[in-house]
Structure formats: C-alpha cells, structure tokens
Amino acid sequence: MSKRAVGVSFCTLAALLYISRYYYTAIFFQGISRNDGFYERWLDFLGTGPTFWATTCIIVGIFYLIWAEFEEKINNFATSIVNKIKKLFSDC
C-alpha cells in the first residue's frame, strides 16, 4: 500500500473516530428531550478516548501524506547529486 493511501486511510479513520462519540450519544438520546445538561454529561462519560485517538490518527495521516509528497522530491534530488558526483569522478 502506498504512503498516500495509508495517509488517507488514517485521516478517514480519524473522522470516523471523531464522529463516533457524537453519533453514539445521539443514538442513545433518540427520543429523549432533556435540557438539564444530560447530553454534555453523557459526552463526558464517554471520555476523551475517541477524540484522543482521532487526533493521533489525523497527525499520523498528515505525516504520511507529507512524507509521500516529499519522498519523491528527496529521492530525485539525491539521485541527481549521485549522478553529478559519478560524472565528476568519471571525467578525471
């Protein structure tokens, strides 16, 4: 799997983890109408686990996307330097 595909997969997973907390709470509160802060307390009960893992996944995904973008440029630059050095020593 390419680095770009891995990066996009991590970003997608981050989005799913982020919305899962709110989606689960919305399903739990389907048909319940309370305005006493119960929804916020339930979000607190679920904790910050999904948010933490979503943040971690988005950081890893962005890292992979940046790595994939610059890897080609770095490899091309390194290859051109090696070719110039070989040419320099072959002319001697």
**Sequence ranges of the domains in the chain:** 3-90
27-53 average pLDDT score: 79
SS3 44: helix
pLDDT at 39 over 90: no
Q: Are 54 and 14 in contact (CB under 8 A)?
A: yes
In this prediction the pTM is: 0.70
Q: How much of the chain exceeds pLDDT 90, in percent?
A: 33
At residue 84, the pLDDT reads 87
